[in-house]
Amino acid sequence: MTASDSGRGAILRAARKAFARQPYAAVTLRDIAAEAGVSASLIVKHFGSKEGLFDTVADFTGAADALLAVPNAGLGRHLVLTLVRYRREQGSDLLVRVVFAAGSGDERALLRERFREQVTDRVATRLAGPDAGLRAELVIAHLLGLGAVMAVDREGLAATVDPERIADHYAPGLQALIDG
Amino acid sequence: MTASDSGRGAILRAARKAFARQPYAAVTLRDIAAEAGVSASLIVKHFGSKEGLFDTVADFTGAADALLAVPNAGLGRHLVLTLVRYRREQGSDLLVRVVFAAGSGDERALLRERFREQVTDRVATRLAGPDAGLRAELVIAHLLGLGAVMAVDREGLAATVDPERIADHYAPGLQALIDG
């Protein structure tokens, strides 16, 4: 990895964090630059603008790959453990940044559309039985809600106890939705 | 409803939106007044100041009262129906604005603290059996997640189908967490 690649990676990590933690309007290139340990002008050089950076970050393919990596039979538990462990290890959430894109604005609409195509619709294609589309949205609701609780109260129980214990309580309802 | 009551409601709706979308420091009474279709001086008359307005908006007591209005036996279904119907009728969410307060800043910390005291802790006191605190957080996760899905995709199924059908799928897992 060249120094320039490494700067790019650090910017993307900082940007994901920033967009995952705050509404779009509150995010500044200056803050992202400070977090990434680079200059704001390097961000502009790589991504053009806040919009350009947001556009790059607004991709959920990797998150969906990780979340959907197992067969449906064990998917409920896998979803919970993957989400919780990712947050513990990375300090950010796989999905919850889409919530900050609720509201108006073109860049928000883009993020929501991507999320639907790359995550919700992909879950729906995995589900058999009646109401697959609605059940897919409710599977997503489970994950966004858990992500939200961990983001809102970082010293709370969901943010700190053994992920297996969270899965014991939270996975059965999720699995029931998957099974239909 | 008098014209003045109606102005108060419009101010509160505009304020919830504004505080949910921007950092506290970026919110102005002028913008809220414009959004609410009233004068800034009417806001001052009703709420005293931006701080007073925020303080009013950062209160979840009414939401918790509505959500927890039935005995535990039917609470899962009641929670889902109350949340969904409120959004359909009011165009806003009972709880999800706390998610926008993730991150730093004193006024965000205040909102999160209020949420814990007024909602999460109150749910926890209703739960018997092991892991009541964690289960309360996961009950909240269900509600924040459903609110998030409805807010993010306003033309999606969760935002548009019969609330009873949502409850059919979403309430059983929630009720299992309540029952412990």
Query: pLDDT tens across B74-128, in order?
Result: 999 999 999 999 999 987 788 887 777 666 666 678 888 889 999 999 999 999 9
- B154 against B140, higher pLDDT: B140
Residues A125 and A169 in one domain: yes
The answer to whether residues B147 and A151 touch, using CB atoms and an 8 Å cutoff, is no
How far is Cα B171 from Cα B180, in angstroms, rounded to an integer? 14
In order of A161, B90, B163, the CA distances from B102 in angstroms are 20, 24, 28
* Domain assignment of residue A21, given as a range: 3-57
CATH number, domain with residue A161: 1.10.357.10
pTM of the predicted structure, to 2 decimals: 0.84
pLDDT tier at A128, thresholds 50, 70, 90? very high
- Phi and psi, residue A69, nearest 5°: -75, 0
pLDDT at A163 over 60: yes
How far is Cα B154 from Cα B157, in angstroms, rounded to an integer? 8
pLDDT at B2: 47
pLDDT at A101: 67
Residues A10 and A40 in one domain: yes
- Neighbour count for residue A106 (Cβ, 10 Å): 8
The answer to whether residues A141 and B140 touch, using CB atoms and an 8 Å cutoff, is no
CATH number, domain with residue A41: 1.10.10.60
Closest CA of chain B from A4, distance in Å: 29
Domains: count for chain B:
2
Tokens describing residue A20: 């995952």
Which residues are CB-neighbours of B32 under 8 A, at least 6 positions away? B11, B14, B15, B18, B40, B43, B53
* A15 Cα distance to chain centroid: 12
Residues B53 and B68 in one domain: no
How far is Cα A104 from Cα A92, in angstroms, rounded to an integer? 24
pLDDT at B104: 61
Whether residues A149 and B153 touch (CB distance < 8 A) is answered with no
Interhelix angle A163-179/B132-152, rounded to 10 degrees, is 50
Choose the closest CB to A137 out of B17, B100, B149: B149
How far is Cα A47 from Cα A43, in angstroms, rounded to an integer? 6
pLDDT at B56: 84
How far is Cα A48 from Cα A42, in angstroms, rounded to an integer? 9
pLDDT at A23 over 90: no
All residues of chain B having their beta carbon less than 8 Å from the beta carbon of residue A166 are: 134, 138
Residues A7 and A28 in one domain: yes
Residues A127 and A158 in one domain: yes
Residues A52 and A65 in one domain: no
Choose the closest CB to A170 out of B23, B103, B138: B138
Residues B150 and B70 in one domain: yes
Q: What is the mean pLDDT of chain A?
A: 89
Max mean pLDDT among B18-32, B41-55, B163-177 falls in B163-177
> What's the average model confidence in pLDDT over A144-160?
93
Residues B50 and B97 in one domain: no
Residues B32 and B68 in one domain: no
Dihedral, CA atoms, B102, B107, B109, B113, nearest 10 degrees?
A: -110
Q: What is the DSSP letter of A22?
A: S
Query: pLDDT tens across A40-73, in order?
Result: 999 999 999 998 888 888 889 989 999 999 999 9
Q: What is the CA radius of gyration of chain A?
A: 17
Q: What percent of chain B has pLDDT over 90?
A: 62
pLDDT at A6 over 70: no
In order of A14, B1, B100, B101, the CA distances from B109 in angstroms are 22, 34, 11, 8
Q: Helices then strands (H, E): number in chain B?
A: 10, 0
Q: What is the mean pLDDT of chain B?
A: 89
* Residue ending a domain, choose from A57, A82, A98: A57
Residues A51 and A66 in one domain: no
pLDDT tier at A2, thresholds 50, 70, 90? very low
Q: Which residue of A has its CA nearest to B180?
A: A169
Residues B118 and B165 in one domain: yes
Query: pLDDT tens across A83-122, in order?
Result: 999 999 988 788 887 877 666 666 677 788 889 999 999 9
Q: Which range has the worst mean pLDDT, A133-142, B51-60, B129-138, B158-167?
A: B51-60
Closest CA of chain B from A74, distance in Å: 17
Closest CA of chain A from B42, distance in Å: 26
The answer to whether residues B79 and B67 touch, using CB atoms and an 8 Å cutoff, is yes
> Which of these, A28, A43, A30, A23, lies nearest to A105 by C-alpha position?
A23
Q: Terminus-to-terminus CA distance in chain B, angstroms? A: 43
pLDDT at B31: 93
